[in-house]
Amino acid sequence: MKIMDLSRITCDRPRTIFLEFSWARCSCLILLLTLAPLVEAKAATTVDRVLYEQGFLQVVSPDRATAEQARALAKKVLAAWKFDLSVMHWANLNEMQKLLTLRLVSDARMNEGHHGRAYSLANGTFVVRMSLIGDPSIDLTFAHELGHIQAYRAFRGRAVPHYFIEGHGLMMNVLYADQLRQDRRAAGAAQGRVMMALTPEEVRTILTDEEKSKREPNMEVAGLFFVEYLRVRKNIPDAVPRMGRVFELVGRGRTYEQAFGQTYGLSLKRTVSEIINYLKRTKAYPAERIKGTRFEEYLPSKTASTSRDGGGAEDQ
């Protein structure tokens, strides 16, 4: 397999509170296709074996994954894939059904590239570390990475902010956990605490400065907060599926700002400044930020009603 690169859209950073809830941590990358001879030369030294094929999905590995593991994982991938499709209602299903490759790699190989749990490539390959096989969290990792691949196919590699892409990816984790009835209280509480600890300054950077945004440690959770803000505070119950319309409009040539405005009937600039003001106003009462959102249920009311210092998340 040739891997050409590589312009990262995200998120595989070592410092985060999600280390202990690592399934919820976004450890994915979307790597765009441009020539990168170095990476290509390195990738050419490994040979992927095709372990299993089913329709548009293939499972490959350069390491010691077995055909039996591949068959079992393919079932999970297809289930997560269908779930993501059912949430997003993509307009162009044919475009979605292009070749999809699950690449299982050893932890040593993942660690060599300083990757986290998983990452996605623009060519429809998503790479997952083998130690996740057998871990229930792998289902949610699939939903997250496949969400990125579907979104990428819809926006065709054009410019969409990192926070919006990751907000969508993390929302796939949340919704798929609900669907599978997986207990996500620990991860949900951790995310709620990050939301309560977000500063207006960092969120301004995340929402307005693409270059700096990807280096902000709370970018993914800020993206999740952004979606919840639309859903709950702006009273848009279908805020998540509408993200799909934003991706599609960008794929058809609109700017993100235009696509956002057309889809949500809101000015992006006004929404961003409203969110920043909201964070300023709730600085002393951060529990207010998650009130009415799905993250409220994950936090015991005592924790949620503490002050910013008591409810902060950075050191937990």
Residues that bind Zn ion (CB under 5 A): 26, 28, 169
Smallest distance from Zn ion to CB 9, Å? 8
Smallest distance from Zn ion to CB 64, Å? 27
- Chain centroid offset of residue 46 CA: 28
Q: Which is nearer to Zn ion, 117 or 231 (CB)?
A: 117
Q: Which is nearer to Zn ion, 26 or 121 (CB)?
A: 26
Q: Which is nearer to Zn ion, 169 or 192 (CB)?
A: 169
The span from the CA of 236 to the CA of 103, in Å, is: 37
Smallest distance from Zn ion to CB 115, Å? 12
Q: Which is nearer to Zn ion, 28 or 121 (CB)?
A: 28
Smallest distance from Zn ion to CB 157, Å? 16
Q: Which is nearer to Zn ion, 28 or 127 (CB)?
A: 28
Instruction: Please provide the distance, in angstroms rounded to a whole number, between the alpha carbons at the two ends of the chain.
Output: 40
Smallest distance from Zn ion to CB 237, Å? 24
φ, ψ for residue 307, nearest 5 deg: -75, 175
Q: Which is nearer to Zn ion, 125 or 282 (CB)?
A: 125
Ramachandran bin of 265, using left for φ above 0, alpha for ψ from -120 to 50, beta for the remaining angles? left
Smallest distance from Zn ion to CB 165, Å? 7
CA distances from 181 to 8, 136, 228, 241, 253 (A): 32, 11, 20, 21, 38
Shortest-Cβ-distance residue relative to Zn ion:
28
Q: Which is nearer to Zn ion, 163 or 260 (CB)?
A: 163
The span from the CA of 141 to the CA of 144, in Å, is: 5
Kind plus residue range of the DSSP H or E element containing 53: strand 49-54
User: Residues near 202 by Cβ (< 8 Å), separated by ≥ 6?
Assistant: 216, 218, 222
Smallest distance from Zn ion to CB 168, Å? 9
Query: What is the b/e burial string over 282-316, where b = at least 16 CB atoms within 10 angstroms of the residue's CB?
Result: bbeebbebbeebbbbebbeeeebeeeeeebebeee
